[in-house]
Amino acid sequence: MAKPIAGRSFIATFGLVFLAIAGLFAADTFLAKTDRAESHIEATRLFQQGQSLMAKGDSLAAVARINDALAIERGNNDYLRALAEAQLAAGENSDSEVTLTGLLNTNSTDGPANLLMARVLMREGRGADAVSFFHRAIYGLWKKDPEGNRRRARLELIDLLAQQNSKEELLAELLPIQDNAPQDLDTRTRLGDLFLRADSPSRAADVFRGILHQMPANLPAHRGLGQSEFAQGDYRAAQRDFQAALRISPDDAASRHWLDLCDQLLQLDPTLRGLSADERWRRSVALVEFVQSDVGACLKPDSPPELQELAAKADAAVKAHVNPAHESEASEANLDLAEQLWQVRRKECQPPASSDSALALVLKRLAR
Amino acid sequence: MIQQLRSNLDRLRRNEDQLALVLSLLIGALVGLVVVAFILLTGRISARMYPAGGAGWRRIVVPVLGSLSTGYLLWRYFPNARGSGIPQTKAAIFIHDGRILFRTVFGKFFCCSASLASGIALGREGPSVQVGAGLASVVARNLGLTPKQVKALVPAGCAAALAAAFNTPIAAVLFSLEEILGDLHATVLGSVVLSAATSWMVLHLVLGDDPLFHVSGYQLVHPAEFGVYAVLGVVGGLGSVCFVKLLLGLRGWFMRLPKKTAWFQPVAGGLTVGILGYFVPEVLGVGYNQVEKVLNGNIVIKLVVLFALLKIVATSVCYASGNAGGIFGPSLFIGAMMGAAVGGVAHMLFPTVTAGPGAYALVGMGTAFAGIVRTPWTSVIMIFEITRDYTIIVPLMISNMIAFFISQKLQKEPIYEALSHQEGIHLPTAESRIHDDRMQVEQAMRLNPLVFSPDAELSAILDQVRAGAFNAWPVVGELGLQGMILNAEIEKFVAAGDAHKKLSEVLLDASADGHAMAPHVHPDQSLSLAMERMGTNHVNVLPVVSRANVHQLVGIVALEDILNTYGFAKRGGG
């Protein structure tokens, strides 16, 4: 072993080193704590600037500022969420997706991050992928106002499903929200419209009636209720509602269109209750005539014999004179004929110009 | 209890291995804490110097004042604390028995902290290494350890400092061995590893687990990318050479200025960085924030090229003018910018087969480090540790090696060696050792030399011996090499009237009085060893024998041949 140099204090030096370590540890801890506190203040300032820029619509500048804040406080989830939101607003969809992917890798139950990811995917046209992120947002964790945020997420999902025309899924999302949706007029009107789109007119009618109970002069509610009743086949009630809507706003083109349709249906539909046998027969003849006219437009010499035969029958039915005692039987025969003609027409001719024309609607109803 | 402690310490003092172990841990902790304090202090001073939203004039005034004040302090009180600290640390190990004064450590810590905080475009890592080495030296000397023990602890201090400064413990170990000691198989490996690990733990304890740079995961997009990484290696190598040559040239120029201006010279660095920083603030300081942005792909190609060029100028002037600070950090900055530029162009031209510029910036950092500092393995491991991303390692190795070889070819002297040479200090380097080892006996050896039979009489060979240039001759019999016969021995026997004696008898006699020709060399041994053995045995020729059979003569190696191999002209008459 090498000989130590004499005259040095071995023990004292050891003691000094330990003291230095302890002192430095205390000093470093203090410095680090102060540094963190100051860094936090600086990061918060930058983040707030970013938020403010975001509010002003300057998303690109907001992205830069929030990035600066993140450079100081790396891994701050609030900043990351805000960054993703700013990136999305700035049109940097792929950057936003990358930010959110990192965020969700650390916490997959982050409600706001899942909602943002769903929005990013929607923006990228990946609606099917977005649906699962909406669900994660709805069932995810929210720091502030969890119920409200979940509801808003569900409403966004509902909008997406409505766009995709996924009626069953739409109804499945609407039902849980029906009772706890905000009671403001816009939300309730929107909910009623959505029930209509989800093919649930009775629920839509309930919603609109609820609105009209509180605000009898509400145009959208009258129109919505009219549409709901129309969808349920109650044309008279629908007619009344559209008339009420037009009394509130005579220029409302949508209500006018629906009212005209109701009028046509009420004049044409032979299945309405309360019609006399004579009126029912006349309507059945008119219906055959309308269908015959529609079929005649596409009838050709080489059309199938079945169609030609039905056309000839229709011609005879239109020209026939019926004894009042046999009007009921004749009406049924006419309606059968009209329906058969319509079925054959659907196979052999071009689709009708409008699927919601009065004629199409009456025949659809007959088929039911 | 105190008595017990005293007795334990006394036992520890007498057990060299245990003492080295304990001191490695203590030095690791101490150096780690000092470096953390250095980082935090520098950061806090910097935040005061450049408050958020501060006026633009600060970017000129602060570096000028910073360089002026620290320049004076360095000149007046801490002359050994100038510059990086790496050459000074190597000089301490190889020349001064590991002696670094506490005054130097103190001066380095505070002057460097003030200098870096004022925006001088230098790094904190080199100075940290000197501070760490100095602390190890101070502690070891105060404990009364032998110079050998002090020298063994200094690399441990270096590794601890680098582990804390860069948050890269493995690279710190490698750097201490590869650059500081120049020997990857150094016996101090255990101390160095322990110290680096302890320092790293201290860093994590105080500052948390945060890598130096946060980088998105990058990977090789297409095998064709290797070509782009090779181009990056070439660009990195050339850029490194430009940087090193500019820095050395400027330093030489500053050193030729009158000595009385030495205290004022750092202001040139402060003013340069101030003016550049006024227009391009990214030039100020080490620029790690900018590096992080570039690593994450936030680049504009023209800007990153500009940043790289301005940083090369700013760092060169700052360092050459005598400011305190290192070139590690700036190397990473320059490399990241060069990498981002190459990657940006490649991605623009071949978007489907190349990764984003961030991946190239990452590789560029290692490339510039390998080209400038010339520690290729340290640079590979360091980038891996900084980013904690393994996927980019293979391109990094390719790029690094290309840059390393280009740098080696165009700039013969590694930067730290060249800086020492400018100071008039000649340090051994890993490269010079490799070069020494590369000169082997085989390269200077003569095949089929003139040999004598053991049965030959002295009188029969006398004329040949006298006419020859050597003072010894191989004697080879049926059993192979039997020894070397010295001219002096032959003359002695002839003068004594024993010219009829056979060589075998003379060899036996020579063995009997201690003159047996035992020394020999093998073909793969170094020429320096051959010369050493010639000197020890007072001969100008040695037999070269096989490693498999020492009696099998392969050839001979003569002093004249060695000198020729080293490039000395043949002396007439041979």
Write out pLDDT tens, residues B143-171.
Answer: 888 888 898 899 999 999 999 998 889 99
* CA closest to A72 among chain B residues: B289
Residues of B in contact with A71 (CB under 8 A): 289, 292-293
The topology under which CATH files domain A176-268 is: 1.25.40
Please give, rounded to a whole number of angstroms, the shortest distance from the CA of B102 to a CA of chain A.
Answer: 14
pLDDT confidence bin for A5, thresholds 50/70/90: very low
Q: Does A217 reach chain B within 8 Å, measured CB to CB?
A: no
Contact B30 A11 (CB under 8 A): no
- Amino acid at residue number B548: A
How high is the pLDDT of residue A328?
A: 76
Q: Which residues of A touch B10 (CB under 8 A)?
A: 10
CA distance to partner chain A, nearest, from residue B210 (Å): 9
Task: Work out how many CB contacts closer than 8 A connect A with B.
Answer: 86
**Closest-CA residue in chain A for B207?**
A32
Q: Are B137 and B154 in contact (CB under 8 A)?
A: yes
Residue B278 pLDDT: 93
Q: Which two tokens stand for residue A137?
A: 């947002």
Q: How do residues A49-69 score in pLDDT, each as one tens digit?
A: 999 999 999 999 999 899 888
Note whether B14 contacts A1, CB cutoff 8 Å. yes
* Residues on chain A touching B29 (C-beta within 8 angstroms): 21
User: Which pLDDT score is estimated for A199?
Assistant: 85
The whole-number pLDDT of residue B323 equals 92
Residues of B in contact with A2 (CB under 8 A): 16, 145-146, 148-149
pTM: 0.68
CB B9 to CB A14 under 8 A?
Answer: yes
Of A2, A9, A67, nearest to B146 by CB-CB distance is A2
**Distance from B146 to chain A by nearest Cα, in Å?**
6
**Residues whose CB falls within 8 Å of the CB of residue A52, separated by 6 or more in sequence, listed in order:** none
Buried b (16+ CB within 10 A) or exposed e, B112-142: bbbbbbbbbbbbbbbbbbbbbbbbbbbbbbb
Enumerate the residues of chain A whose CB falls inside 8 A of the CB of residue B289: 71
String of b and e for B311-342 (b: at least 16 CB within 10 Å)? bbbbbbbbbbbbbbbbbbbbbbbbbbbbbbbb
Chain B residues touching residue A7 (CB < 8 angstroms): 144
Q: How far is B287 from chain A (nearest CA, A)?
A: 13
pLDDT at A83: 93
A2 touches chain B (CB under 8 A): yes
pLDDT of B518 reads 67
Q: Under an 8 A CB cutoff, do A10 and B9 touch?
A: yes
pLDDT of residue B81: 86
Instruction: Name the CA dihedral angle for B188, B189, B195, B201, rounded to a multiple of 10 degrees.
Output: 180
Q: What average pLDDT does range A88-114 have in this prediction?
A: 89
Q: Which two tokens stand for residue B59?
A: 């970017």
Q: Mutating which of A21, A24, A28, A87 best tests the B interface, going by the most B Cβ atoms within 10 A?
A: A28
Which of B29, B46, B52 is CA-nearest to residue B325? B46
Do the Cβ atoms of B145 and A38 come within 8 Å? no
Over range A169-190, report the average pLDDT. 81
Q: Which two tokens stand for residue A31?
A: 């410095």
Interface residue A41 vs chain B (CB under 8 A)? no
For chain A positions 5-24, those within 8 Å of chain B (CB to CB) are 5-11, 13-14, 16-18, 20-21, 24
Distance from the Cα of B195 to chain A's closest Cα (Å) equals 14
**Per-residue tokens: A12:** 């004292």
Instruction: For residue range A123-159, list pLDDT tens digits in order.
Output: 888 888 888 899 999 988 998 888 888 888 888 888 8
Lowest-confidence pick of A106-110, A325-329, B261-265: A325-329
Residues A6-21 have pLDDT tens digits of: 445 778 888 899 999 9
Question: Which residue from B minimizes the CA distance to A1?
Answer: B16
Chain B contact for A3 (CB, 8 A cutoff): yes
* Shortest Cα distance, chain B CAs vs residue A35, angstroms: 7
Closest chain B CA to residue A41 = B52
Tokens 């227009």 appear where?
B279
The whole-angstrom distance between A4's CA and the closest CA on chain B is 5
- Phi, psi dihedrals of residue A298, rounded to the nearest 5°: -115, 5
Compute the nearest-CA separation of A47 from chain B (Å). Answer: 14
* B143 CA: distance to closest CA in chain A (Å): 5
By Cβ distance, the residue of B13, B41, B216 closest to A31 is: B41
Q: What is the mean pLDDT of chain A?
A: 83
Residue contact B40–A7, C-beta within 8 A: no
pLDDT, residue B573, reads: 40
Q: Would you give per-residue pLDDT tens digits along chain B (574 residues)?
A: 777 777 777 777 777 788 888 999 999 999 999 999 999 999 889 988 888 777 888 999 999 999 999 999 999 999 888 888 888 898 888 888 889 999 999 999 999 999 999 999 999 988 999 999 999 999 999 988 888 889 889 999 999 999 999 888 999 999 888 888 877 666 788 899 999 999 999 999 998 877 777 777 777 778 888 999 999 999 999 999 999 999 999 999 999 999 889 899 999 999 999 999 999 998 998 888 889 888 887 778 888 999 999 999 999 999 999 999 999 899 999 999 999 999 999 998 988 888 888 889 999 999 999 999 888 888 888 888 877 777 788 889 999 999 999 999 998 888 988 888 888 777 766 555 666 666 888 889 999 898 999 889 888 888 888 888 898 899 998 888 888 888 888 888 888 888 888 888 887 665 555 444 468 888 888 888 899 889 988 889 999 988 777 788 999 999 988 988 888 755 544 3
Give one DSSP letter per residue of A323-350, joined into a string: -GGGHHHHHHHHHHHHHHHHHHHHHHSP
Of B37, B148, B289, the CB nearest to A27: B37
Residues of B in contact with A74 (CB under 8 A): 210, 214
- Cβ within 8 Å, pair A13-B292: no
User: Which residues are B553's β-sheet partners?
Assistant: B545
**Cβ-Cβ contacts under 8 Å, A25 against chain B:** 33, 202, 206
Give the closest-approach CA distance of B16 to chain A in angstroms: 7
Is the sign of the CA dihedral B302, B308, B314, B317 positive or negative?
negative
Per the structure block, which two tokens stand in for A317?
A: 């039915």
What is the reported pLDDT for B429? 60
Q: Given an 8 Å threshold on Cβ–Cβ distance, is A71 in contact with B26?
A: no
How does pLDDT run across A246-288, given as a tens digit for each residue? 899 888 888 888 888 888 877 777 777 777 777 788 888 887 8
Task: Say if the Cβ atoms of B143 and A20 lie within 8 Å.
Answer: no
Cα(B485)–Cα(B503) distance, rounded to whole angstroms?
8
Is-contact B184 B178, C-beta < 8 A? yes
The tokens for B377 are 């393995």
Location of structure tokens 């907001």: A62
**Whether A101 contacts chain B with CB within 8 A:** no
For residue B157, the chain A residues in CB contact (below 8 A) are none
CB atoms within 10 A of CB A199: 13
Compare all CA atoms of chain A with the CA of B27 and give the residue at the minimum distance. A17
Q: Kindly determine whether residue B148 and residue A2, on different chains, have CB atoms separated by under 8 Å.
A: yes
Identity at B171, one-letter amino acid code: A
Between CA B63 and CA B51 the distance in angstroms is 14
The type of residue at A275 is: L
| Chain B partners within 8 Å of A38 (Cβ) | 44, 47
Longest CA span, chain B: 101
**Delimiting residues of CATH 1.25.40.10 domain(s) in chain A:** 176-268
B15 contact residues in A (CB cutoff 8 A): 1
Residue of chain B minimizing CA distance to A24? B33
Tens digit of each residue's pLDDT (9 = 90 or more) over A162-178: 888 888 888 888 888 77
Give the nearest partner residue to B142 out of A13, A28, A38, using CB atoms.
A13
Nearest CB to A42 within list B15, B52, B210: B52
Contact A6 B37 (CB under 8 A): no
Ramachandran angles phi, psi of B258, nearest 5°: -55, 140
